[in-house]
């Protein structure tokens, strides 16, 4: 009997059509995800005017999706490791598409908030699963690059909402941008047809024929034999996907550090997205509409995510992530000082790269840290706990703005917490990382394939 280590096989595989299929599908889903999350902010002024709601109610209407995302991160991140990521991703895609579209037909703030809460569960649920799926199938040498390239679709979705939103709202009304978000549900059957299932789930199912088929697609050099037995690396052989596994094998302290880093990073992301325009207007800068800020921030995020992922594959992802957090602290703090407009644009772009872009690299690191069997669970809990930072940020910074503090202090309150995130990443014990422990098995996988 010949044992085939699927994890090691995927680690050493050369890029092929399967990798591109996973990348394209995951990136496309993240584009839809980014659009759905950004569209509420784009349409909010029109919604407030039509429904006659005050800023307090409007804040609740928008934040309802964030509460939903917190539940989605945790619930679907955990459930997916038990039912399979392919179905979890399909369910989340259908959920956020349908309920975002339904929000477009809401006539009261309560109806809108309820629809957005359920949509938020889908938005949050899909994130840990596409990260885990891309991490699982990507070759080791390109893993961070492919995960961050995939996740840069989030910024593309945000820019798409900003560019299309204004014209659609003016021509068809605010509900049109929500109805349009329901179209991706039509892709669910195609997703189920083309997206491969997660490897640990297939191993637990024990379907040898399906495993042989997937192994062949992962690495075409593999030649199936009748007596092949498919296994995962020792560290990947977790019998059940449970929260307790996040704290097993010495991972507990590092898990908490991931949670702290994610909390701080999402705090910065949502503080900037909520208050950047208002703060800069208060400072007297004339940079045009809020659309300009959205585009610059998201363009910087895309560059930061892809560039950070590329550096993480060339250097060490832990130290790249620490450097990006330090860049966030500096670039955001400097936004509080008077400077030429061109320099301000650069700083806003760097702020996007080192907050939204850094969060993507942070998720990529979490995906590499946890074993396959609990990868979605690990990412989901990090994002779920961190989501409380996203909920807290608009409220806390709003209080500070209301206190009339100097501009510099407001931006320091947003940026300096990045130092805490950098410290938390520094304390992560990389020796407990799944990617650190599975390095020897790569050579074994190469030998297995070569022997046919």
Mean pLDDT by 10 residues, the chain (452 residues): 75 85 91 81 77 73 81 80 86 93 90 91 87 84 82 81 79 90 93 86 78 82 78 54 75 92 91 74 59 78 85 87 95 87 88 89 84 77 85 79 82 93 92 58 37 40
Q: Give how many domains the chain has, as a whole number.
A: 1
Query: For the chain, percent helix, then strand, then coil, each to nearest 5?
Result: 80, 0, 15
Question: In this structure, is residue 203 part of a structural domain?
Answer: no
Question: In this structure, is residue 443 part of a structural domain?
Answer: no
Cα–Cα separations (whole angstroms), residue 177 to 14, 35, 56, 396: 40, 9, 23, 29
CATH number at residue 58: 1.20.1250.20
Angular region, 265: left φ>0, alpha ψ -120 to 50, beta rest:
alpha
50: domain range?
2-195+241-437
What is the pLDDT at residue 9? 79
Q: Tens of pLDDT along 276-324?
A: 766 776 777 654 555 677 778 888 888 888 888 888 888 888 999 999 9
Closest CA to 10 of 20, 19, 2: 19
Question: In this structure, is residue 425 part of a structural domain?
Answer: yes
Question: In this structure, is residue 206 part of a structural domain?
Answer: no
What is the pLDDT at residue 291? 61
What is the pLDDT at residue 239? 46
Cα–Cα separations (whole angstroms), residue 336 to 85, 132, 333: 43, 37, 6
Q: What is the rounded distance in angstroms from the CA atom of residue 150 to the CA atom of residue 161?
A: 18
Beta carbons within 8 Å of 281's beta carbon, 6+ residues apart: none
Helical H segments across 84-187, by residue range: 85-103, 109-137, 143-151, 153-172, 175-180
What is the pLDDT at residue 14? 85
245-252, Cβ contacts within 8 angstroms, sequence gap of 24 or more: 245/371, 245/373, 245/374, 245/377, 246/370, 246/374, 246/377, 246/378, 246/381, 249/432, 250/429, 250/432, 251/369, 251/370, 251/432
Question: In this structure, is residue 214 part of a structural domain?
Answer: no
What is the pLDDT at residue 228? 76
Question: In this structure, is residue 385 part of a structural domain?
Answer: yes
Hey, which residues does 229 pair with through a beta bridge?
3
Question: In this structure, is residue 446 part of a structural domain?
Answer: no
Looking at residue 103, the DSSP 8-state letter turns out to be: H
Question: In this structure, is residue 82 part of a structural domain?
Answer: yes
What is the pLDDT at residue 445? 33
Beta carbons within 8 Å of 381's beta carbon, 6+ residues apart: 73, 74, 77, 78, 243, 246, 255, 259
Percent of the chain with pLDDT over 70: 88
What is the pLDDT at residue 444? 39
For residue 356, the SS3 value is helix
């Amino acid at each position: 009997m010949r044992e085939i280590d699927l994890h090691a096989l995927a680690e050493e595989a050369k890029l092929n059509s399967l990798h591109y299929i996973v990348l394209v599908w995951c990136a496309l889903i993240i584009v839809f995800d980014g659009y759905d999350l950004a569209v509420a902010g784009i349409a909010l002024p029109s919604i407030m005017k039509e429904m006659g709601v005050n800023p307090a109610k409007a804040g609740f209407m928008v934040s309802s999706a964030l509460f939903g995302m917190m539940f989605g991160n945790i619930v679907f991140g955990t459930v997916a490791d038990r039912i399979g990521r392919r179905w979890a991703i399909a369910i989340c895609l259908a959920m956020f598409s349908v309920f975002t579209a339904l929000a477009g037909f809401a006539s009261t703030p309560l109806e809108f908030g309820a629809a957005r809460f359920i949509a938020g569960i889908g938005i949050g649920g899909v994130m840990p699963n596409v990260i885990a799926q891309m991490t699982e199938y990507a070759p080791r040498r390109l893993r961070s690059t492919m995960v961050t390239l995939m996740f840069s679709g989030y910024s593309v979705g945000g820019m798409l909402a900003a560019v299309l939103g204004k014209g659609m709202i003016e021509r068809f009304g605010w509900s049109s941008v929500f109805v349009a978000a329901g179209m991706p549900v039509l892709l669910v059957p195609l997703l189920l047809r083309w997206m491969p299932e997660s490897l640990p789930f297939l191993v637990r199912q024990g379907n040898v024929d399906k495993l042989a088929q997937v192994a062949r697609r992962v690495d075409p050099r593999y030649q199936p034999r009748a007596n092949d037995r498919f296994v995962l690396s020792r560290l990947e052989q977790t019998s059940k996907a449970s929260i307790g596994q996040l704290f097993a094998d010495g991972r507990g302290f590092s898990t908490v550090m991931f949670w702290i880093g994610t909390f701080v990073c999402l705090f910065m992301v949502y503080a900037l997205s909520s208050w950047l325009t208002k703060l800069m207007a208060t400072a007297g800068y004339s940079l045009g509409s809020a659309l300009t800020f959205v585009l610059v921030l998201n363009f910087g995020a895309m560059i930061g995510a892809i560039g950070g992922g590329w550096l993480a594959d060339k250097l060490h992802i832990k130290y790249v992530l620490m450097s990006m957090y330090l860049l966030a602290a500096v670039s955001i703090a400097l936004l509080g000082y008077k400077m030429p407009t061109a320099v301000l644009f650069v700083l806003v772009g760097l702020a996007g790269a080192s907050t939204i872009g850094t969060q993507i690299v942070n998720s990529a690191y979490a995906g590499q840290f946890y074993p396959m069997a609990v990868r979605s669970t690990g990412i989901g809990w990090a994002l779920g706990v961190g989501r409380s930072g996203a909920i807290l940020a608009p409220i806390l910074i709003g209080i500070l703005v209301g206190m009339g503090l100097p501009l510099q202090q407001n931006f320091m309150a947003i940026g300096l917490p990045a130092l805490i995130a950098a410290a938390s990443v520094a304390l992560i014990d990389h020796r407990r990382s799944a990617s650190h422990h599975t390095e020897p098995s790569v050579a074994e996988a190469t030998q297995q394939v070569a022997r046919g």
